[in-house]
Amino acid sequence: EDQVTQSPEALRLQEGESSSLNCSYTVSGLRGLFWYRQDPGKGPEFLFTLYSAGEEKEKERLKATLTKKESFLHITAPKPEDSATYLCAVRPLSGGYQKVTFGIGTKLQVIP
């Protein structure tokens, strides 16, 4: 069974204090790994797709990286508007394209 574990569950940072969120996954072959941002009471907003180990993607203060067992979302010099829950999801090679397993997320709070 595919599994996604995100850590920490919650993270509180001072504005400008860089950190990383972790997504560990277990799949029988990875078709793709996705990062989303979810604001309270809203649907997840797509951020990145990573396909293979060693790949990196960047967007503003966020950088996502991928290894064979985990992915990191690095947040550089965060601002209060980066506060949100960040979700990780994996799509395995086996099964249809609808088979996406989501983690519970990391709730990030950035304090001014």
> What does the block give as tokens for 92?
């395995």
Q: Is residue 101 within the footprint of another protein (CB under 8 A)?
A: yes
Tokens 């086996």 -> residue: 94
Looking at 20-28, 43-51, 55-63, 73-81, which segment touches another protein (CB under 8 A)?
43-51
Nearer to another protein by Cβ, of 7 and 49: the residue is: 49
Asked whether 11 and 108 are in contact (CB, 8 A), the reply is yes
Q: Is residue 74 within the footprint of another protein (CB under 8 A)?
A: no
Question: What is the distance between the alpha carbons of residues 90 and 1, in angstroms, rounded to a whole number?
Answer: 12
Which of 27, 34, 73, 108 forms a contact with another protein (CB under 8 A)?
34
Nearer to another protein by Cβ, of 41 and 54: the residue is: 41
Nearest 5°: CA angle at 56, between 55 and 58? 155
Residue 64: phi and psi, rounded to 5, are -110, 135
Interface residues toward another protein, by CB under 8 A: 4, 31-32, 34, 36, 41-46, 49, 51, 87, 89, 91, 97-98, 100-105
